[in-house]
Structure formats: C-alpha cells, structure tokens
Amino acid sequence: MVNAFYDFAGELRRLEQDNLYRRRRVVDGPQDIKLNADGRQLINFCSNDYLGLANHPEVKAAFKAGVDSYGVGSGSAHLICGHSNAHHALEEELAAFTGRDRALLFSTGYMANLGVISALLGRSDTVLEDRLNHASLLDGGLLSRARFQRYRHADVEDLQAKLSNAASKAMVVSDGVFSMDGDLAPLPAMVELAERHHAGLLVDDAHGFGVLGKNGGGVVEHFGLSQNQVPILIGTLGKAFGTFGAFVAGSEDLIEMLIQKARSYVFTTALPAAVAEATRASLRLLQVESWRREQLQNLIGRFRQGAQQQGLELMDSFTAIQPVLIGDSGQTVAASQRLLEQGFWVSAIRPPTVPAGSARLRITFSANHTEQQVDALLAALAKAFS
Ligand SMILES: Cc1ncc(COP(=O)(O)O)c(C=O)c1O
C-alpha cells in the first residue's frame, strides 16, 4: 500500500508552478570569480566571499598546516575534548578584533543565532525582530518560545512602540547589514532605545564584517559602537572571512552564560581546528589588506552609477550586496537565466527568502572582481532587461 506521508509530488509541482522551485548547480573547483559549474565557466556575482579570501594562498596554507598539526576532525564538542589551542587563539583574536572582552566560536551562523537567542530568552520574555531579519534570527526567536514580535523594517518608531508595550524582559534582534537588501540597521537609534527600555540588543553582522569600517570591524565599527552599546555581537566566518563557522562577541559573563546554556554550542562537534587556523590567517589579511575594502567600494560605486544610468531599480545599499528589485518570481528567474546565458551567475532570490512580490536579483561583489567584469555585467543586465 502507498504511504500518503511520502507523497511529495503535489507540493513539488506547486513550487515549480509558482517559480519557487530551487535547484543546485554543481561547482567544479575552488570558490573564485570564475567558477566552473555544470560544465561551463561563469563569472560569479553571487557569492558572499566579499574580500576574495576563500581561495587565498595564505588562507589555504594555514588550513593545510592546521591539518598537519591537528588532523581533520575535532573529535567532540568544545566542552568535551574538542577545544584546541587553534580555537582558543582564534577566539582571543576575534575578541581583540571586535573590541569585546571575549568571543565564542560556533559551528555556523545559523547555529549561533539559534543558540544565543534561545539561551537568553524564555517563555515569559519578548523578542523583537526586524521584519527582514535573516531566517536564523527568526528561527532563534521562535525556538526560544518568547513572545515573538516583528517590527517594520528598520523602523525605529515601530520598534519604540513595540518596546513600550513589552511587559516582560525583552531583546531586540537585528541583522547589521540586511542579507537580501544590503542596507544597514539604524543601530545608533536602536542602541538608544534598547538602553532606555532596559532591553537586550543582539546584532548579527554576518555581511558587515570585513566590508564595513576602516579595519573591517563591520557595522559596529562603521557607527563607532562599543560593547556597552551593542552587547551581543554575532559574526559569521563563511562570508568575508572566506572560511566557515561563526562567533559571538561580548562580555565575560555573556560568553560564560552561552558556554553553559546555548544548546547549539554544547551539543555539537567543534568545527575542525584547521578551519580555525585558516580563519586566523584570513582575520590577519582582512585587517591589514585594507585595499580589498577600497577596491570593493570602487566596484560598488561603478556598478551603482552604471545601473542607475540604465534605470535599474537598486536598493539603498552601499555594501557588497546590490540587489536589483524585480518583484515577480517568474521574471526574476528569467532574468537570472538570461544572465547565465551570457556567462554571469547572479542568483534569483524569491519568497520565502524575501517577502512576497519582492523577488530580486541579488548581485554581490568581491574585491577580486575587475572593473571590466563589472562593466561586462552591466552590459549583460542591459541585454537581459531589453
Ligand atoms: C544575516 C545572516 N546570519 C546568519 C547566516 C548564517 O550563517 P552560516 O552560513 O554561517 O550558517 C546568514 C547566511 O548564511 C546570514 O545572512
């Protein structure tokens, strides 16, 4: 007898009909500007490797040396026997980099967000989240079982109203740089509000670290915000750092609390020590090679100017994320396909990643792109929309 539980065909057909079906392309070779995928070479405008460190010789050498020193697997969770001096040194370096007392490594940004929010909030509390927060922040809020409220995107007045009505212990949670829009959270005003209402403030700066701030310190460096002002700061290592993993930075007590209570920290295997060694190398490069940020800003400016001349609908972003808003999912997939035919890989972002009716091309830049490649993308976009 057929078990109806496993009858997924209808739902899959519906996703296909709604232009929401997702497919993977198989990449052959390292992450870089030129990617070999499905048997052809494409210019990559969709990765989060904003500084071009994922395939950097020094990062790779550090990774290989890490394997020689530590092997591959870390053997267990940090609290058992998986916490090596490579992890420990990286945590100390991340704390110094962010100007925080301490930092704590997590295996992924998704797990950091689930673990931190659910460790700090419970059933009788309130979590206030920007409507456009990354899925992992929303999922963390839901997992915590706190009263879950979303405020309008980057809307300080709406946040203030919701904070005023929060009867219980509350925490405000936001992306620093919004992952699908590229704009910044209005952090100075949010800091002031959180302080006034005695609420917690968590900022996930997955897309700001490495890109924003003179030293790559991200959105908090950009706005000059200290540990007292943004007490819970999260970064991911798989984007501008070019490696893998994530960290939380904050006070001594915050980190100790997370070591005790964050279930996605306690109950999982530590990331490989060699990845920590690779990240130590990329952290050094990210700080000293400020030309990467300058090159990125130059390319972003060039793209925005060219796109505006073409009448493309850009968003309020000066970061490496430069979406072109289209709206309809089918048209967005078609535009992405037309770019692909011209040799450019730009992802079509559709609901539920973004709100219904706001599908877009998410174009991302890397310090390793050339001006010629940006100009060629602009020409391809003109053709794709003609
Ligand atoms: C804002 C934000 N936070 C967290 C994550 C998840 O990080 P990770 O890929 O390390 O799980 C992402 C994207 O992947 C993100 O965009």
**For 133-163, b where at least 16 C-beta lie within 10 A, e where not — what string?**
bbebbbbbbebbebbebbbebbebebbbebb
Q: Selecting from 3.20.20.140, 3.90.1150.10, 3.65.10.10, 1.10.630.10, what CATH number does the domain 25-51+290-384 have?
A: 3.90.1150.10
In sequence order, the 6+-apart residues with CB closer than 8 A to the CB of 57 are none
Radius of gyration of the chain (CA): 21
Q: In the predicted model, what is the mean pLDDT of residues 244-252?
A: 98
Q: What class is the 57-288 domain?
A: alpha beta
| pLDDT band, very low/low/confident/very high, at 386 (cuts 50, 70, 90) | confident
As annotated, the residues of the chain forming the CATH 3.40.640.10 domain(s) are: 57-288
- Output the pLDDT for position 168: 84
- Output the pLDDT for position 271: 98
- On whether the CB atoms of residues 168 and 149 are closer than 8 A, the answer is no
H or E element that contains 47: none
| pLDDT band, very low/low/confident/very high, at 76 (cuts 50, 70, 90) | very high
- Output the pLDDT for position 295: 98
Any ligand 1 atom below 6 A from CB of 353: no
User: Does residue 1 have a pLDDT over 80?
Assistant: no
Expressed in angstroms and rounded, the spacing between residue 317 Cα and the centre of ligand 1 is 19
Which amino acid residue places its CA nearest to atom 9 of ligand 1? Answer: 109
- Output the pLDDT for position 252: 98
Phi-psi region of 224 (alpha: psi -120 to 50; beta: other; left: phi over 0): left
Q: In the predicted model, what is the mean pLDDT of residues 219-226?
A: 98
Which amino acid residue places its CA nearest to atom 16 of ligand 1? Answer: 179
pLDDT tens-digit map of 148-194: 999 999 999 999 999 999 988 999 999 999 999 999 999 999 999 99
**For 298-334, b where at least 16 C-beta lie within 10 A, e where not — what string?**
bbbebbeebbeeeebeebebbbbbbbbebeebeebbe
pLDDT tens-digit map of 305-361: 999 999 999 999 999 999 999 999 999 999 999 999 999 999 999 999 999 999 999
Share of the chain above pLDDT 70, in %: 100
| pLDDT band, very low/low/confident/very high, at 2 (cuts 50, 70, 90) | confident
Quick one: DSSP state of residue 314?
A: B
Q: Consult the annotation and say whether 88 binds a ligand.
A: no
As annotated, the residues of the chain forming the CATH 3.90.1150.10 domain(s) are: 25-51+290-384
Other residues' Cβ atoms within 10 Å of the Cβ of residue 52:
22
- On whether the CB atoms of residues 367 and 51 are closer than 8 A, the answer is yes
pLDDT tens-digit map of 267-308: 999 999 999 999 999 999 999 999 999 999 999 999 999 999
Q: Consult the annotation and say whether 279 binds a ligand.
A: no
Active site residues per annotation: 179, 207, 239
Q: How far is CA 331 from the centre of its chain?
A: 26
Taking the alpha carbons of 76, 84, 219, 119 in that order, is the dihedral positive or negative? positive
| pLDDT band, very low/low/confident/very high, at 219 (cuts 50, 70, 90) | very high
Mean pLDDT of the chain: 97
Expressed in angstroms and rounded, the spacing between residue 321 Cα and the centre of ligand 1 is 14
pLDDT tens-digit map of 125-134: 999 999 999 9
In sequence order, the 6+-apart residues with CB closer than 8 A to the CB of 3 are none
Expressed in angstroms and rounded, the spacing between residue 207 Cα and the centre of ligand 1 is 8
Quick one: DSSP state of residue 177?
A: B
Six token digits for residue 174: 């936001």
